[in-house]
Amino acid sequence: MKFRPFGRLAQFGLGNASLLAALLIFGTAFASEPSSFKMDSTADHSKFKELQQSFSSGPELTKVCLGCHTEAAKQVHRTKHWTWDFLNPENQQRLGKKNVINNFCISVPSNLAFCSSCHVGYGWKDASFDFKSEENVDCLACHDTTGSYRKLPGLAGHPPYKDMEVPPGSGKIVKAVDLTKVAQKVGKSSRDTCGACHFFGGGGDGVKHGDMDSSLASPDRDLDVHMDATGLDFTCGTCHKTSSHEVPGSRYTPVGKDQGGAHMRGKEDKSNPATCQACHGQAPHKDGGLAVKLNHHTDKVACQTCHIPEIARGGVATKMTWDWSTAGKLTADGKPIIKKDEKGRVIYDSKKGDFTLGEHVRPEYAWFNGKVTYTLLGDKIDKNEGVTHINKMGGSASDGQSLIWPMKVFRGVQPYDPENKTLVTPHTAGNDDTAYWKNFGWEKAIDAGMKASGAPFSGKVDFIKTDMSWPITHMVAPKEKALGCHECHAKAGRLDAIEGVYIPGRDANSLVNTLGWLAVGGTLAGVLLHGLIRILRRKH
């Protein structure tokens, strides 16, 4: 972070006398750096009369926000962050968080009150939620700057308005949110606000993505060369350049191969601004003897492949496998079990089954053209096929649209309906008599969940192997840490499984090799024999 002492002070309100004194004392010291006196925003929300009152709920506050930001809620209404619904224009699949199924916590519909703690709204607990309501838009989830605003699972997207014990009976108290304080300090979104949900996808820190976890809240240069808190200090929004609340760069329709140049002001660039190429262009390597050769790679290899050498590099483990089929084991007196590994990480939980975790994981690699096909609820699946792909990543060496990408491939075993041959959407979270995490009965939980999803369920439960691929794109290492040539240009190297491309050092024609070495070896044997006879004859 650049040293911005007064930007910080300004956040705490200049009216405060002691801060003013500090400002006067330090003022001379920083006189050479006048920019540090500036506050980024032209509006100090703590000065607005409308915000100098107490609020009893989020929607009450939102109404006040909308008093000035008249179009904000309408903009939010159009985004995936609000609808959790997305029609993939490429293949007409209905995606979005409320529709897709994954192999982590599986699905949303019957668990809304819990899942919607990551919804940019208030009150989505079931299908009756009013998506037209403007006051139900949660401005603070993205615009809090205090770090004190937190939505709790189970509250249907609301923060706690009174002190609460979480989880119940634990003795741990979560304080009620001070909406007035948060409202007076609203600002731009930050790594913390985006991270509050996106770092914790899959139900915990780093669980889902492997390239996004809480270590990115304040990373050093080594972990993320762009977000480096004492260097470039990018926020998520620096790349995911948001306009009218629409955040570009979604994983539903990612860009596999950005063939455009760097974006330029004054020129209309309709392409995704969150790709590497959107800033770096197609010939990003500028210096060093290898620059030309490295630039030759950009038509085949995604930047991420060399520049993100490992998944989960920040000290937070990511889940690599999840076996739901072992869930539900209880102690003799009927209590759920939690098992931890030597590092204190949960590897078995009766509610969820067995996990394996990984840090510094070497990615798997695949051709990827950005076209993703999901296995959705109702799609026929077949246990005999071995592994069901929750999402299939399109791409090949020859389609002209693909690059070789690093992937986190998350493997799981999850419940399915062996009669209807479909995935299922169990009701997991809830304090009722069907929720799996309370009752440990699959049939009831799936029955309730499938009803909420409006899908048929035969009543039979079996488990099926699934996998899901996550293109890796965050935690970009500094260039000194990028992969060396030998990582791929070698036998059994990183790209061993990649087909359709000749990789020097990995590939060779075995016939030519055999004949070649025979010819060389034969020549050598011939001259050695000749020489030997000469020596033995001692004539010449």
> Three-state SS for 425?
coil
Q: Determine which residue in the list 2, 8, 47, 530 makes contact with another protein, applying CB under 8 A.
A: 530
Could you tell me the smallest distance in angstroms from the CB atom of residue 360 to another protein? 22
Taking the complex as a whole, how short is the minimal distance between the CB of residue 502 and ligand HEM, in angstroms? 7
Count CA within 13 A, CB hemisphere, residue 535.
6
CA distance 196 to 245: 17
Work out how close the CB of 81 gets to ligand HEM at its nearest, in angstroms, rounded to a whole number: 46
Site string for ligand HEM, 454-493 (x = CB under 6 A): ----------------------------------------
Judged by beta carbon, residue 67 or residue 504, the one nearer ligand HEM is 504
Of 236-244, 404-412, 445-453, 509-517: span binding another protein (CB under 8 A): 509-517
How many angstroms from the chain centroid is the CA of residue 20?
41
Out of ligand HEM, another protein, none, what residue 41 binds, judged by CB under 5 to 8 A for its kind, is none
Collapsing DSSP states into helix, strand and coil, what is residue 356? strand
Q: Is 432 in the site for another protein (CB under 8 A)?
A: no
Give kind and range of the element (H or E) at residue 60.
helix 58-68
Least CB distance to another protein at residue 224 (A): 25
Residue with tokens 């490992």: 310
Q: Is there a contact between 62 and 139 (Cβ–Cβ < 8 Å)?
A: yes
Identify which of residues 270 and 539 has a Cβ nearer to another protein in the complex. 539
Nearest approach, Cβ of residue 276 and ligand HEM (Å) = 24
Phi-psi region of 500 (alpha: psi -120 to 50; beta: other; left: phi over 0): left
Token pair listed for 158: 């609301």
CA distance linking residue 162 with residue 175, whole number of Å: 7
532 contributes a contact to another protein by CB under 8 A:
no
**ω into residue 167 within 30 of 0, thus cis?**
yes
Question: Is residue 502 at the binding interface for another protein, with CB under 8 A as the rule?
Answer: yes
Strand 462-471 versus strand 364-368 pairing type? unpaired
Count of residues of this chain found to bind ligand HEM when the rule CB under 6 A is applied = 2
Specify burial of residue 330 (Cβ count, 10 A radius: 0-12, 13-18, 19+).
Answer: exposed
Q: What would the x/- binding string for another protein be over residues 247 to 286, using CB under 8 A? A: ----------------------------------------
Alpha carbons 307 and 405: distance in angstroms, whole number:
11
Residue 504 binds ligand HEM (CB under 6 A): yes
Percent helix, strand and coil across the chain, each to the nearest 5: 30, 15, 55
Tell which one of 489, 494, 497, 510 touches another protein (CB under 8 A).
489
**What single string gives the DSSP state of each residue in 258-299?**
--S----TTS---S-TTSSHHHH-S----SSTTHHHHHHGGG
Pick the piece of the chain touching another protein (CB under 8 A) from 147-155, 164-172, 292-300, 409-417.
Answer: 292-300
- Residue 516 in the binding site for ligand HEM (CB under 6 A): no
In Å, what is the CA distance from 216 to each residue of 193, 240, 250?
Answer: 12, 15, 19
520 binds, among another protein, ligand HEM, none (CB under 5 to 8 A by kind): another protein
486 binds another protein (CB under 8 A): yes
522 binds ligand HEM (CB under 6 A): no
What is the separation of C-alpha 89 from the centre of its chain, rounded to a whole number of angstroms? 22
- Contact pick of 127, 173, 291, 508 for ligand HEM (by CB under 6 A): 508
Q: What is the DSSP string of 506-538?
A: TB--HHHHHHHHHHHHHHHHHHHHHHHHHHHHT
Does 527 help bind another protein (rule: CB under 8 A)? yes
132-140, 181-189, 325-333, 519-527 -> range binding another protein (CB under 8 A)? 519-527
Sites of contact with another protein (CB under 8 A): 289-290, 293, 296, 299, 484-486, 489-491, 501-502, 504-509, 512-513, 515-517, 519-520, 523-524, 526-527, 530-531, 533-534, 537, 539-540
Sites of contact with ligand HEM (CB under 6 A): 504, 508
